Chain A
Amino acid sequence: MSTVNLTMAILLGGLYAGGFYLILQRSLMRILLGIVILGHGANLMLQLAGGPPGRPPMVGDAAPAMMTDPFPQAMALTAVVITFALTTFLLALAYRAWLLLGHDEVRDDLEDRRIRRLERRLAESEEDEEEMETEATQ
């Protein structure tokens, strides 16, 4: 078990909060930035999981017991690569959306809205509950 120092804890909190805030935006570019920031947060967390910072990472610099845990670094490296790949994918997707739609907004579920409209229309016309449900399914 290792505990994190305060600076890192605050930094992590900031990264996660900022990331999630950006993810909740409409524009895909902001969401992309949010994912990047969240990814940084997660990777920093992985690094911190390996113990306190400042220990030598390379073989030969210190006694094995004094060295930093290489395992989280290996995991973080893999995760960084994955985040990088998905970031480029999202970039390409945002570009495609911009080409096709003229914007990169992430919209609501269209069909869901259609069904909700249908239901509202049915509710407005005076019918009793049961019929309403059967017709909503049509």
Chain B
Amino acid sequence: MTALVALPVLLPLMAAGLSLAFGRFADIQRVLGLVVLGAIIVNAALLLYVADVHGPIVLQLGGWPAPLGITLIADRLAALLLLVSSVVTFAVLIYSIGQRVADYGRGTSSTTFHPIYLMLCAGVSLAYLTGDLFNLFVAFEIMLSSSYVLITRRTTATRVRPGMTYTIVSLTSSILFLTVIALVYAATGTVNLADLAQRVSELPDGLQSSLGLLMTIVFGVKAAMVPLHFWLPDSYPNAPAPITAVFAGLLTKVGIYAMIRTQTLVFQHESTWQLMLAIALLTMIVGALGALAQDDLNRMLSFLLVSHIGYMLFGLGVYDIAGLTGVILYVVHHITVQATLFLVSGLITRHTGTVALSRMGGLAKAAPLVAVLFSIPALTLSGVPPFSGFVAKLALLQAGVDAGTWAAYGVAGGAVLTSLLTLYAVARVWSRAFWGRPQEPAGDPDPSDELVVGTGTTSPAMMVASGVLAATSVLIAVAAGPLADISGRAAVDLMHGETYRTAVLGGGAGG
């Protein structure tokens, strides 16, 4: 039973090993990846069910008790995010297999893509499930080092530079993370999150807030919150579409997850957190305005990604049950939507042969299916009523208004404005790319085009994968009721850390 918690980490790792060992057999790698990631979806769904009904599932690795050993824990939040993430990784794998078959033919194997991708999945799962700060660092490293490889794979002269920026920024933030861990350990003598929760509250106030702030900066870099976001629109657009999709869908959200986890469990804030609200507002507005200035479709989507990180920070800044419910809903919705958008952007650029919006046109007639696939996540992202974005945004706005402070009102206003700007940005894509007449390739093609576009053919698998993700985001809207309920319960768990602490440390006094 408890082993279910370890499987989402161990299975991809084992599959990565097998995939490496069978590096020459493309079909084995593909089947292996699909089977394992499919199994993880089932596994995560089971975890979510059990965690919701019976409370958090805890696994002490090797049977070593909590503060000393390594703890894996699946509570509602972790299981929910794991479920959504595994759906995304599964769909993206289908997409990238489709893309690979379309580009290079069925037989070509890749010794790096499948193993590294599975490692990435293992890292993401570990980040969600770990119950200890240092393991969170390890999870980040597994995830990030896989992402370095994926983003610099098959680099050309123009793509090696963004890869460098990405790697350096992430490495620096990792070292900062390590520093924070050292400081936390020096102050408390433990890195187990549940144990930390208690010991940190015994520290002097100043020390608590400075450690908490450092931690926020570290995760802020990973989550791309505004003063620390500059690397994201620079690096993400330069990776192939499926890679960008999984990065955009998952990596920043893992940063947000880590932030939620540490801010609620370890470094608690009593009331509305003004600094976070200010950062949230800044993130939303800067991201949205940045998106409007872009001509490159992928860069525009990257800026929108940054902008919508602001919503999650907003909920975290409000810091009450309603706010956290909103954050969880938003993360769930945003993981699927952002991944879908990048996948569809891959389809679009394959049809048009360019990433520049100014040189696109007439896609609505040329590729009506792509148009439908784009419209669903685009409307969802901007929060148009029937879709899931609306539900999540509404929850956040309500939480902001209920919080009742001027700062919260202000950020809620900013959120509405950002929503409008997002709608404007995606409408601009629609009018540029899908309406009008198809354009002839211009005389001076953007040098960054050839590497993103690929061979220009799409395959049914890519369509299906994008469709599955788009359908998932619609499904989230359909199931908004139960989802909001479970997010609410997860938020209650987060605000009252006792459930988590007793689950990890046992019924006793703990610590």
- Which A residues fall within an 8 A CB radius of B? 1-2, 19, 23, 28, 31, 35, 38-39, 41-43, 45-46, 48-50, 69, 71-72, 75, 78-79, 82-83, 85-86, 89-90, 93, 96-97, 100-101, 106-107, 109-112, 115, 119, 133, 136-138
In the complex, what residues of B have CB within 8 A of residue A72's CB? 182, 185
In the complex, what residues of A have CB within 8 A of residue B187's CB? 1
Per the bound structure, the CA–CA distance linking A104 and B491 in Å amounts to 47
- State whether A42 touches B164 (Cβ < 8 A): no
> Which of B25-33, B170-178, B465-473 is the contact stretch?
B170-178
Contact A28-B164, Cβ < 8 Å, known A100-B157, A115-B293: yes
B152 at the A interface (CB under 8 A): yes
- State whether A101 touches B160 (Cβ < 8 A): yes
In the complex, what residues of A have CB within 8 A of residue B152's CB? 93, 96
B:139-177 near A, CB below 8 Å: 141, 145, 148-149, 152, 155-158, 160-165, 167-168, 171-172, 174-175
Contact A97-B164, Cβ < 8 Å, known A49-B183, A75-B134, A137-B292: yes
- State whether B182 touches A48 (Cβ < 8 A): yes
- State whether B145 touches A89 (Cβ < 8 A): yes
Per the bound structure, the CA–CA distance linking A119 and B290 in Å amounts to 13
Per the bound structure, the CA–CA distance linking A46 and B413 in Å amounts to 44
B428 at the A interface (CB under 8 A): yes
In the complex, what residues of A have CB within 8 A of residue B181's CB? 46, 75
Per the bound structure, the CA–CA distance linking A72 and B185 in Å amounts to 8
B:358-377 near A, CB below 8 Å: 358
Residue picked from A1, A133, A136, most chain B C-beta under 10 Å: A1
Residue picked from B137, B145, B160, most chain A C-beta under 10 Å: B160
B45 at the A interface (CB under 8 A): no
Task: Output the least CB separation between B215 and chain A (Å).
Answer: 15
B103 at the A interface (CB under 8 A): no
Closest residue of B by beta carbon distance from A118? B295
Partner of B186, one of A1, A79, A86, A100: A1
What's the dominant secondary structure at chain A's contact region? helix
In the complex, what residues of B have CB within 8 A of residue A41's CB? 175, 179
Partner of A90, one of B167, B189, B230: B167
Task: Output the least CB separation between A94 and chain B (Å).
Answer: 8
- State whether A96 touches B160 (Cβ < 8 A): yes
- State whether B179 touches A106 (Cβ < 8 A): no
- State whether A49 touches B182 (Cβ < 8 A): yes
In the complex, what residues of A have CB within 8 A of residue B168's CB? 23, 31, 35, 106
Residue picked from A23, A49, A101, A112, most chain B C-beta under 10 Å: A49
B492 at the A interface (CB under 8 A): no
B501 at the A interface (CB under 8 A): no
Task: Output the least CB separation between A51 and chain B (Å).
Answer: 9
- State whether A89 touches B157 (Cβ < 8 A): no
Closest residue of B by beta carbon distance from A50? B185
- State whether A46 touches B165 (Cβ < 8 A): no
Contact A107-B161, Cβ < 8 Å, known A46-B182, A137-B293: yes
- State whether B292 touches A82 (Cβ < 8 A): no
Per the bound structure, the CA–CA distance linking A50 and B174 in Å amounts to 20
B294 at the A interface (CB under 8 A): yes
Closest residue of A by beta carbon distance from B289? A133
In the complex, what residues of A have CB within 8 A of residue B185's CB? 46, 49-50, 71-72, 75
Per the bound structure, the CA–CA distance linking A48 and B172 in Å amounts to 21
Per the bound structure, the CA–CA distance linking A107 and B158 in Å amounts to 11
Closest residue of B by beta carbon distance from A133? B292
In the complex, what residues of A have CB within 8 A of residue B162's CB? 109
In the complex, what residues of A have CB within 8 A of residue B158's CB? 110
Partner of B191, one of A75, A107, A137: A75
B502 at the A interface (CB under 8 A): no
Contact with A along B4-33 (1 / 0, CB 8 A): 000000000000000000000000000000
- State whether B182 touches A38 (Cβ < 8 A): no
In the complex, what residues of B have CB within 8 A of residue A111's CB? 234, 237, 294, 296, 299, 448
Task: Output the least CB separation between B159 and chain A (Å).
Answer: 9
Task: Output the least CB separation between B297 and chain A (Å).
Answer: 12
- State whether B234 touches A86 (Cβ < 8 A): no
Partner of A112, one of B157, B164, B186, B234: B234
Contact with A along B280-299 (1 / 0, CB 8 A): 00000000000011111001
